[in-house]
Structures are given as C-alpha cells and as structure tokens.
Amino acid sequence: MRRGLRTWEVQLGITLILLSIAIYAMKYLLLGDPENTYQYIFNALGFLPISVLLVTLILNQLMSVRERRERLEKLNMVIGVFFSEVGTGLLTLLSDRDPDLAEIKQYLIVTEAWAPEKFSEVRDHLQHHRYSVLIDAVDLEGLRQYLKERRSFLLRLLENPVLLEHESFTNLLRATFHLTEELEWRGDFTRLPENDIRHLEGDIGRVYRLLAEQWIGYMEYLKRNYPYLFSLAMRINPFDEEASPVVR
C-alpha cells in the first residue's frame, strides 16, 4: 500500500513537471523573447513557496474539519449503541425511582417541534435538578444483574480510542462501570449498613445525572441528523411513563 502510494506521487510529480516544461517551451517557440520567459519563470519560482504555504494551510484546515466530522460521526454511533444496549433501560429504571421526576418530566417529553433553543433551555433547567433516587425502591439485585450482563460491552466501549475526545460520555461510562463493580462486590443487599446504602445511593445518583445529560444531547443529535431514529427515541422516551414504541 505504501509503495503504491509513493509510485503514484512520483508519477504525478513527473507529469506536472513535464507539463510545466511543455508550457514554457510552447511559449518560447510561439512568442520568442527568451528574456521575458526567463523572467516569468523566476517570478513564478519566487512565488512558489508562498503558494505552497497557502495551499498547505488551506488543505490542512479542510482535512482537519473533515476528520473531525468523521470522528464525531463515529462517536455518536458509539453513543447510540450505548443507549440501545444499556442507557435507555438504565435511565428508565432510575428515573422511575426519582421522587422529583414530576418537576422535570414536562421538560423531557421531546417532540418534533423542539428547536435547538429548546434543547438549550432544557439543559439549563436540568442543571438545577437533584437527580436523587429512592434507593429503597431500587431492586439492587436486579440492577446488579442488568449491569453485570452488560459488563463486557461497557469494557469494550472504554477501550474505544474515539471516546477520548468526548469527556462527558467517557465520564458516564466510568461512572456506570464503577457502579457495576460496586454492586458486583456486594453479596446480600438486605444486610448492608446505612453508610454503605448511602454510598450506593450516591453512585446511582451520579450515573443518573450523567445519563440524563447525555441523553438530551443524543436526542438533539438524532433530531438534527436522523429523523427515523429520533422517531423511535421519542416513542421509547425513558422519562415518559406512557411511552410506547407502537406508532399511534
């Protein structure tokens, strides 16, 4: 592959040089005046470094923009897979145990009419939410089993180098994996001391907050780029207790 690329570059260079020589030779044969031809060649050579610099900067900028878009697209694909495999179900479970859900529910029923300004408004409002979870209402054994079954999936996501550019999603994965480990290391949840229960409550609340924030951003991305995926995401909204995948 590398040898073929070098051959292609050499062939292109030779072709361009021969084309340039042919143009100058034709100018000399048709118009004569060798002094003017030589002067023109030197003027062109003098501007060549500046031309190369400008072209290099522009091409580099264009390539950087394209590479960034490609990385963001791959990253959002990973985020979509995460919500399909883990996030949506986990967010549904935790939000159902949120005693203050009624205060934010009206802000989280995403519709087709939402504009970018609406998503920004909701983000600002959610910053003041406590994201508390009634741990007594959480089936810790069921939560442990749910996350344990997806442990290998979470590990593979953490190993993905694309995620290094998305700090908030990386923090979500780490928090989710940490909660998984905390639950796996415990045996009988009915015999836990009060301090340990409060510790788990804090871990669960952290995952809940990061999940909700990431979910809003993902919904905005789907609405802007993939209407058919956004349609399903609206119908299975984890904050909507009446949500149904069935199209009415």
80-83: long-range pairs with CB below 8 Å, 24+: 80/218, 80/222, 80/229, 82/157, 82/169, 82/173, 83/215, 83/218
**10-residue averages of pLDDT along the chain (248 residues):** 58 76 73 65 64 68 69 81 92 90 86 90 87 88 92 86 78 92 90 91 94 92 91 90 80
Average pLDDT of the chain is 83
Q: Give the tens place of pLDDT for each residue, 36-49.
A: 666 666 666 656 66
Q: What per-residue confidence (pLDDT) applies to 204?
A: 94
Cβ-Cβ contacts under 8 Å for 36 (sequence gap 6 or more): none
Q: What is the pLDDT of residue 127?
A: 86
What's 19's DSSP letter?
Answer: H
Q: Where are the domains of the chain?
A: 2-63, 69-235
235, 247 contact by CB (below 8 A): yes
pLDDT of residue 2: 45
Contact yes or no for 183/155 (Cβ under 8 A): no
Q: What is the pLDDT of residue 1?
A: 42
Give residue-wise pLDDT tens across range 65-109: 677 677 777 788 888 899 999 999 999 999 989 988 888 888 888
